[in-house]
Structure 1
Amino acid sequence: MQFTEQPFLPVILGADITAYSHVRAFHEEYNMKSLVLSQKQAKIISESKLCENRVIDNLEREDVLIENLMKVGKEFEGKKKLIVLGCGDWYVRILIENKEKLSPYFLIPYIDEPLLNKIVLKDKFYEICEKLDIPYPTTYVYNCGEENDLNFTFDYPVIAKTANSAMYHYAEFPGKKKVFRFQNEEPLREMLNNLEKSSYNYKFLIQDCIPGGDEFMRVLTCYSDQNGKVVFASLGHSLLEDHSPGAIGNPVAIINEQNPEIINNAIKFLEYVGYKGFSNFDIKYDTRDGKNKFFEINVRLGRSNFYVTGSGFNTVKWIVDDLVYNKKFEGLTIADKEVLFTVVPKQIILHFVKDEETRKKIKKCYKEGRIAYPLNYKCDMSPKRAFYVWASFFNQFRKYAKYK
Structure 2
Amino acid sequence: MARGTWGAPVQADRSVPGLVVKLGDYPLHHGGVGAIRSLGRLGVPMYAITEDRYTPAAVSRYLRRAFVWPTTGTEEPEWLVEGLLRIGRRIGRPAVLIPTDEEAAVLIAEHQEELATRFLFPRVDGKLPRRLASKQGLHELCVEHGIASPTSSFPQSYDEVERFAERARFPVVAKNREAFERRRQPAVNGTTRIADREGLLRLARGWGDRPGVILQEYLPREDAEDWIVHAYFDADSAPRAMFTGVKVRSWPPHAGMTANAYVVDNPELADIAARFIKQIGFAGVIDLDLRFDRRDGRYKLLDFNPRMGAQFRLFENEAGIDVVRAMHLDLTGRPVPEGEQLAGRRYIVENIDLPALLAYRRSGYTTPHAPARASGTELAWLAGDDPLPFLTMLARFVRPGAKHLYHLWRTNRLGNGRVRP
TM bin (shorter chain): 0.7 to 0.9
Distance 1:88 1:41, change over 3 A: farther
* Structure 2 residue 232 is the aligned partner of structure 1 residue 228: no
SS at match of 2:385: helix
Q: Is the 8 A contact 2:286 2:306 kept in 1?
A: yes
Aligned length: 383
1:335-369 alpha-carbon deviations (Å, 9 max, x no partner): 2422110113776566536578869835x22xx6x
Distance 1:287 1:229, change over 3 A: same
2:98 corresponds to which letter in structure 1?
Answer: L
Counterpart of 1:47 in structure 2 is: 59
TM-score (norm 1): 0.82
The separation in 2 between residues aligned to 1:214 and 1:35, in whole angstroms, is 44
1:57 corresponds to which letter in structure 2?
Answer: P
2:349 corresponds to which letter in structure 1?
Answer: V
Counterpart of 1:193 in structure 2 is: 205
Counterpart of 1:242 in structure 2 is: 251
1:130 corresponds to which letter in structure 2?
Answer: V
1:120 corresponds to which letter in structure 2?
Answer: A
SS at match of 2:350: coil
The separation in 1 between residues aligned to 2:13 and 2:276, in whole angstroms, is 38
Counterpart of 1:274 in structure 2 is: 281
Of structures 1 and 2, the one scoring higher in RCO (CA 8 A, sep 6+) is 2
Counterpart of 1:361 in structure 2 is: 371
* Structure 2 residue 293 is the aligned partner of structure 1 residue 289: no
Counterpart of 1:70 in structure 2 is: 85
Distance 1:213 1:340, change over 3 A: farther
Equivalent of 1:158 in 172, 175, 188: 172
Equivalent of 2:348 in 342, 349, 352: 342
TM-score (norm 2): 0.79
Q: Is the 8 A contact 2:223 2:294 kept in 1?
A: no
Q: How does 1:131-170 map to 2 (within 5 A)?
A: 131-143=144-156, 147-151=160-164, 154-166=168-180, 168-170=181-183
Distance 1:116 1:308, change over 3 A: same
1:377 corresponds to which letter in structure 2?
Answer: A
The separation in 2 between residues aligned to 1:27 and 1:157, in whole angstroms, is 46
Question: What's the offset of the Cα at 1:274?
Answer: 1.0
Any stretches of 5+ residues in structure 2 without a counterpart? 1-11, 414-421
Using the TM superposition, name which of 104-113 and 144-153 deviates more. 144-153
Equivalent of 1:95 in 108, 121, 126: 108
Distance 1:214 1:357, change over 3 A: closer
1:381 corresponds to which letter in structure 2?
Answer: P
Q: Is the 8 A contact 2:48 2:58 kept in 1?
A: no
Using the TM superposition, name which of 292-301 and 9-18 deviates more. 9-18
* Structure 2 residue 339 is the aligned partner of structure 1 residue 318: no
SS at match of 1:267: helix
Question: What's the offset of the Cα at 1:218?
Answer: 0.8
Question: What's the offset of the Cα at 1:390?
Answer: 4.7
Q: Is the 8 A contact 2:36 2:62 kept in 1?
A: yes
**CA RMSD across the alignment:** 3.4
The separation in 1 between residues aligned to 2:129 and 2:104, in whole angstroms, is 13
SS at match of 1:43: coil
Q: Percent identity?
A: 16
Counterpart of 2:50 in structure 1 is: 38
Distance 1:163 1:147, change over 3 A: same
Counterpart of 1:13 in structure 2 is: 21
Question: What's the offset of the Cα at 1:387?
Answer: 2.9
The separation in 2 between residues aligned to 1:116 and 1:356, in whole angstroms, is 33
The separation in 1 between residues aligned to 2:224 and 2:248, in whole angstroms, is 4
